[in-house]
Structure 1
Amino acid sequence: MQNFRDMANFIWSVADLLRGDYKQSDYGKVILPMTVLRRLDSVLKPTKPQVLAKLAEMARMNVQNLDPVLNRMTGYDFHNRSRFDFESLLDDPDHLSTNLMAYINAFSANAKDIMDYFEFGKQVERLDRSNLLYQVMQKFAAIDLHPDIVDNVQMGYIFEELIRKFAEVSNETAGEHFTPREVIRLMVNLLFNEDRNQDLSKEGVVRTIYDPACGTGGMLSVSEEYLTALNRDIMVRVFGQELNPESYAICKADMLLKGQKPSQIRFGNSFSEDGFAEQTFDYMLSNPPFGVEWKKVEKEIRDEAEKLGFNGRFGAGLPRISDGSLLFLQHMLAKMKPVSLGGSRIAIVFNGSPLFSGGAESGESNIRRWIIENDWLEAIVALPDQLFYNTGISTYIWVLTNRKSPERKGKIQLINATHLYQKMRKSLGDKRNELSNEHIAEITRMHGDFRETKYSKIFDNEDFGYRRITVERPLKLNFLVSDERIARLKEQKAFQNLAASKKKGAPGEEEIAEGKRKQEAILRVLEELRSEALFKNREEFVKVLKKAFKASGVDLSAPLQKAILSALSERDETADICRDSKGNPEPDTELRDYENVPLKEDVYEYFEREVVPFVPDAWIDEGKTKIGYEIPFTRHFYEYTPMRSLEEIQAEIRQLEEEIQALLQEVR
């Protein structure tokens, strides 16, 4: 096989055997666990004779706890006690199903757990019933997946390519399972960039890495490889949690083969079943699913937010139910080590939504405010589009830490790397672009240099905060009793309710009749006022109205008077200002507007400059002012492109016309 994609394609060709007996969406249920099983078998094959011999010897000695001894024999943290291996299983086709299950059950508990999450026993039975088990096993037996042939990095790529294919045929979201490796390498570079020449180079260093949506474990693997390449003596402990059973099983198998403790990979929803409650980590990185709603765990999240507040994970706020991205970030921030214990660094991939979604004092804005005011946001890198397998949208890497270097304190760096990419020779789903090693190095350098350039901007934390002020303008109404406005009164709910029964059960006929009489009385009074002139002062009109109703003996409740005034009024810029009982101008809700004033700017200076010259009668409603935070990334890197001149456009049109005429001449 020339590369991992050739190997993955060869493995996926097993689908040709499954076609007809399996739906396309079920191919992965056979191919993924069988690949893992073949990998485990290939790893154990060289030590199989020694393990069986030791097993027999210890059985004669009646030794009970065999696991540590057998694991030392294999050189891994797992083993298999069966006399079978992948090839020898095929020697007895008549009992293949029974022997295969016995072989799987003979794995040590941590490896057997992996196959259990695949629910592979069901597929063995199904394949056997379809007379496909022997053919599938034979196909996989032809593949050598020993680490000497296929190393861990290549194996990770193979798993990811298989999952991508599985997702394509079953219309699932491949991006929920894994992230392109070059994006992971960039994230890892940014994560360790500030520590590379100091803490990570020391002898005897122990570092923990955590991913709350670890998928197949790609981010954990690349992080571990980076650190061990930097410092051979470093001890790296990786932790992860994953919700998808297939991805969890693959990740756990990968960690098992790399010598990591598989018990540090947990299954379940990180929000409702936090597998590492109360634990903190040195480094964290993740690519949570984009735009995935959190309705299934809404109760657990809201309960924690209400009961624990900032003592829990979600005290800063809750984003809209349709996108849980910022919940993942809060979850990770809650697992930062205190600065006194060395602090933590975080890298996370988002789409554009967490930058700006939600207005002032919304859940999203409050989360951004909490992060920025705590000075945790170090940098954001804008990536090129079409980098991911399941989406072509633009993505961003956020880098956060609670131990910023002195020069970064109170600052946020924005890096525009949207131009740094190369086209792929062949697209993979929505992925048409990729980052080269040179691109990754350039972005890492810009982050490390921490200086202003065309593609790197540095801001104060306060630059992303604003006050959302409410700008009011006075209500100005005229009043007139006319057919049109009386007709509007008849549509008012308060007027219609006069003739509606308020009693439960059978309609109150007397009550309804009384209401209709009152409606008629009101209309008679208004008919008498029809000849009155247009009023441009509400107080004057109210006096006339009250006097007329009092003379007619009709009592008006406050809601009914409000309905009459509403129906008989229209907005009129030439009318007098309507005032409340204290003489203050009443605001016109239809003219209400909002302005976002940067935190660094004085609200009243802004108001006098930007509002008053255009609406001199406006004022700020102080009680409605809110604080908001957003990161308008694109705005800070926008470059104005002058429009072409009219002469240039006309010349181009003439040229196109000439070309069209020439083509028409050829047709003739």
Structure 2
Amino acid sequence: MTSDEGIAVVGRNIQEKAALIWNVANTLYGAYKPHEYGLVILPMVVIKRFHDCLLPTHQAVLDKYAEIEDLAVKDGFLRSASGYQFYNTSPFTFDTLKADSANIEDNFRAYIAGFSDNVQDILGRMNFSAQIERMVEAKVLYQVVTDFCSDKANMSPDRIRAIDMGYIFENLVQRFSESYDEEAGAHFTSRDIIYLMCDLLVANDRHAFMDSDGITKTVYDMAMGTSQMLTCLEERLKQLDADADVTCFGQEFNAFTFGIAKADMLIRGGDPDNMQFGDTLNDDKFNGYQFDYCISNPPFGIDWKREAAAVEAEHKKGPSGRFGPGLPAKSDGQMLFMLNGIAKLKQGGRMSIIQNGSSLSTGDAESGPSEIRRYLIENDWLDAIVQLPNDSFYNTGIATYVWIITKGKPNDRVGKVQLIDASACYENRRKPIGNKRVDITETARDLIVQVYGDYRDGAFEAKTQDGKTVVCKSKMLDAVSFGYNQITVESPLLNEHGKNVLKNGKPATDSQKRDTENVPLDEDIDAYFEREVLPYNPGSWIDRNKTKVGYEIPFTRTFYEYKQLEPAGVIAKRIEEHERVLIEKLHALFGKDHE
């Protein structure tokens, strides 16, 4: 089975399982509004997943708890008995809860209270106790518990592996988001894009396989949602080396998706303390940490006014702060996440991060965005930018880009940046999901990764199983070519006789005619001025005190291909033919005499 087929099969299973679980919401009808269903469904799925994982060792945990009940420290013993990083000491199971409808509230609360502290933290952030009270008042708690006892809600590990459970969670988040009129894409990224980002991270990583003992990597996602980027990257690395030692870290600000991420980490046997709750921009939980890989799809088009005080204080720290190089406009904080990721990379570390088009060129010379690009490029950390196909995401159809940033380029890439146009490298979906109408299939992904690895100019093609041609273009550019000197051109002020007005013996400046020119960094300013300005504006001069350095990445211009216009005569003939056909149709409709 190919990866495409695997994704399709798993995708169908995930959709079906999530749909069955979401149907439990029928019980909530009336007591809850549709946009509130997720407040119950999401934590109940987390609880049931924990329950089904713990069920085989439930009695062993109860026996161990009875044995060590008087000990001050019990966690280690109980975790060992459960086989997980969490446990439940309550005697209840979902089946025994179902068997006693008269005491459902007390028994269910006792069951929840039996969970270990790390699970209590998850449910507390989801504010689930308030939902228990609400379900009791609405007299639906027993039925909800009963619904989750059905076979369709069986979430045991032998039925659903960890990574697929993560995607079921995400599908449920999507349903909750849609019913709440919220952007589902704010919480998760589709698997085809994640796999591409993972493969781009590993490709050309000269440090990945240097250790004779195998792959050892730390991975970080600063806006992790339900943590599936971390899970997928771990999966990819273990496909390369089954014994790979991969440690994942992540931070998330949404209480529900954080809870799901932490639950996923607990079930997979990782350290739940590596999953941290908080706003990355103003409450960095990994201060002082550095990682081998960073992979992230941070929010874009979202303002950072709430975090402004902390962000600006961090900026004032200069090089010792995460945001020292510059600050973007308060209307969009995506480049702040990029700076945070750079600060978190080890020497030799690599980052794959999604940005929209504004990060390429927004902002004038010496503005915050330009200074961030300058910081990246002058340190030679920007390795490549890949334009993704439009309509690749659930919540937007606009152009998006994967930036590959590395603190340790191979010698053949030093001083260079690769731009890859993969906007035509996709296959159409049979059925759209929100705005997502295309998939980066295995054929498309392999071509993009190959083009990145080959590191040369050209247009490259591959054939899909259906015979469709996918295309990927590559341009290798000198990093310095993205920089420019912005010069200010002044013109003399003229009097009514067309003569220069003098001030202190020098031509006065006509501020109405002041203009700027962007001169490539690798070009002499004076030569450019004499060639491009003076012939069209005699007597003008450069105000050297106003020269600024800027950086932009002209992605669209780099791949622009001029198409020869048709000769005027050909166009005229085509217009005449259209007119003739139109007149014939009018005659046929109304008759020649318009009768």
**Given the two structures, how large is their TM-score scaled by the length of structure 2?**
0.91
2:492 to 469, 474, 493: 474
Asked if the contact 2:251/2:285 (under 8 Å) is kept, the reply is yes
What amino acid is the match of 1:23? K
Tell me the CA shift for residue 200 of structure 1.
6.3
The change in CA–CA distance for 1:52 and 1:293 in structure 2 (over 3 A counts) is same
Aligned to 1:287: 297
Aligned to 2:522: 600
Matches within 5 A, 1:99-138: 99-138=107-146
What amino acid is the match of 2:95? E
Aligned to 1:530: none
Aligned to 2:330: 321
CA distance in 1 between partners of 2:199 and 2:81 (Å): 36
2:400 to 395, 415, 418: 395
CA distance in 2 between partners of 1:667 and 1:39 (Å): 72
The change in CA–CA distance for 1:271 and 1:212 in structure 2 (over 3 A counts) is same
The change in CA–CA distance for 1:230 and 1:18 in structure 2 (over 3 A counts) is same
| Structure 2 residue 234 is the aligned partner of structure 1 residue 224 | yes
Asked if the contact 1:291/1:324 (under 8 Å) is kept, the reply is yes
| Structure 2 residue 580 is the aligned partner of structure 1 residue 575 | no
Counterpart of 1:466 in 2: which secondary structure?
Answer: strand
1:463 to 481, 502, 508: 481
Tell me the CA shift for residue 86 of structure 1.
1.8
Consecutive unaligned residues of structure 2, counting only runs of 5 or more, are 1-9, 460-472
CA distance in 1 between partners of 2:46 and 2:580 (Å): 63
What amino acid is the match of 1:282? D
1:352 to 353, 357, 360: 357
| Structure 2 residue 216 is the aligned partner of structure 1 residue 206 | yes
Matches within 5 A, 1:528-607: 536=496, 574-580=497-503, 582-607=504-529
The change in CA–CA distance for 1:575 and 1:645 in structure 2 (over 3 A counts) is closer
Counterpart of 2:432 in 1: which secondary structure?
Answer: strand
What amino acid is the match of 1:226? R
Asked if the contact 1:474/1:585 (under 8 Å) is kept, the reply is yes
Tell me the CA shift for residue 285 of structure 1.
1.2
Matches within 5 A, 1:83-482: 83-142=91-150, 143-195=153-205, 199=209, 202-203=212-213, 205-306=215-316, 308-337=317-346, 339=347, 343-454=348-459, 455-477=473-495
Asked if the contact 2:206/2:410 (under 8 Å) is kept, the reply is no
Tell me the CA shift for residue 50 of structure 1.
2.0
Aligned to 1:79: 87
Consecutive unaligned residues of structure 1, counting only runs of 5 or more, are 478-535, 537-573
Asked if the contact 2:214/2:241 (under 8 Å) is kept, the reply is no
Asked if the contact 1:252/1:265 (under 8 Å) is kept, the reply is yes
The change in CA–CA distance for 1:216 and 1:663 in structure 2 (over 3 A counts) is farther
CA distance in 1 between partners of 2:163 and 2:206 (Å): 22
Tell me the CA shift for residue 625 of structure 1.
0.5
Asked if the contact 2:189/2:393 (under 8 Å) is kept, the reply is yes
Asked if the contact 2:202/2:208 (under 8 Å) is kept, the reply is no
What amino acid is the match of 1:460? D
Aligned to 2:17: 7
Counterpart of 2:518 in 1: which secondary structure?
Answer: strand
Counterpart of 1:141 in 2: which secondary structure?
Answer: coil
CA distance in 2 between partners of 1:200 and 1:4 (Å): 37
CA distance in 1 between partners of 2:208 and 2:313 (Å): 42
CA distance in 2 between partners of 1:129 and 1:200 (Å): 61
What amino acid is the match of 1:473? S
Aligned to 2:463: none
Tell me the CA shift for residue 650 of structure 1.
4.5
What amino acid is the match of 1:583? G
The change in CA–CA distance for 1:179 and 1:437 in structure 2 (over 3 A counts) is same
2:548 to 604, 621, 626: 626
CA distance in 2 between partners of 1:80 and 1:320 (Å): 48
The change in CA–CA distance for 1:471 and 1:153 in structure 2 (over 3 A counts) is same
Aligned to 1:515: none
What amino acid is the match of 1:324? G
Aligned to 1:52: 62
What amino acid is the match of 1:440? R
What amino acid is the match of 2:267? L
CA distance in 2 between partners of 1:644 and 1:11 (Å): 59
Provide Cα deviations, 1:364-415, integer angstroms capped at 9, x if missing partner: 1011101100000011000001111111111000011111101011110111
Asked if the contact 1:382/1:416 (under 8 Å) is kept, the reply is yes
Asked if the contact 2:388/2:423 (under 8 Å) is kept, the reply is yes
Instruction: Report % sequence identity.
Output: 44
Asked if the contact 1:188/1:222 (under 8 Å) is kept, the reply is yes
Q: Aligned-residue CA RMSD in angstroms?
A: 1.9
Counterpart of 1:587 in 2: which secondary structure?
Answer: coil
| Structure 2 residue 581 is the aligned partner of structure 1 residue 658 | yes
Tell me the CA shift for residue 66 of structure 1.
2.5
Tell me the CA shift for residue 57 of structure 1.
3.1
Counterpart of 1:600 in 2: which secondary structure?
Answer: coil
What amino acid is the match of 1:622? R
Aligned to 1:527: none
Asked if the contact 2:208/2:215 (under 8 Å) is kept, the reply is no
What amino acid is the match of 2:141? L
The change in CA–CA distance for 1:198 and 1:184 in structure 2 (over 3 A counts) is closer
The change in CA–CA distance for 1:453 and 1:344 in structure 2 (over 3 A counts) is same
**Given the two structures, how large is their TM-score scaled by the length of structure 1?**
0.82
Bigger Cα Rg: 1
Tell me the CA shift for residue 661 of structure 1.
4.2
CA distance in 2 between partners of 1:640 and 1:18 (Å): 59
The change in CA–CA distance for 1:14 and 1:656 in structure 2 (over 3 A counts) is farther
CA distance in 2 between partners of 1:667 and 1:149 (Å): 70
Aligned to 1:496: none
CA distance in 2 between partners of 1:665 and 1:37 (Å): 72
CA distance in 1 between partners of 2:361 and 2:203 (Å): 27
What amino acid is the match of 1:405? P
Counterpart of 2:322 in 1: which secondary structure?
Answer: coil
CA distance in 2 between partners of 1:624 and 1:661 (Å): 65
CA distance in 1 between partners of 2:479 and 2:587 (Å): 62
Provide Cα deviations, 1:323-358, integer angstroms capped at 9, x if missing partner: 111111111111222x3xxx2111100000110010
The change in CA–CA distance for 1:169 and 1:656 in structure 2 (over 3 A counts) is farther
Asked if the contact 1:290/1:325 (under 8 Å) is kept, the reply is yes
Asked if the contact 2:390/2:400 (under 8 Å) is kept, the reply is yes
Counterpart of 2:306 in 1: which secondary structure?
Answer: helix
CA distance in 1 between partners of 2:385 and 2:278 (Å): 29
CA distance in 1 between partners of 2:586 and 2:67 (Å): 89
CA distance in 2 between partners of 1:178 and 1:145 (Å): 21
Tell me the CA shift for residue 227 of structure 1.
1.3
CA distance in 2 between partners of 1:664 and 1:188 (Å): 63
Provide Cα deviations, 1:440-475, integer angstroms capped at 9, x if missing partner: 111111111111113111111101000001111111
CA distance in 2 between partners of 1:648 and 1:250 (Å): 62
Counterpart of 1:103 in 2: which secondary structure?
Answer: helix
| Structure 2 residue 570 is the aligned partner of structure 1 residue 644 | no
Moved more, 229-238 or 246-255: 229-238
What amino acid is the match of 2:130? K
Tell me the CA shift for residue 642 of structure 1.
2.1
Tell me the CA shift for residue 280 of structure 1.
0.8
What amino acid is the match of 2:508? E
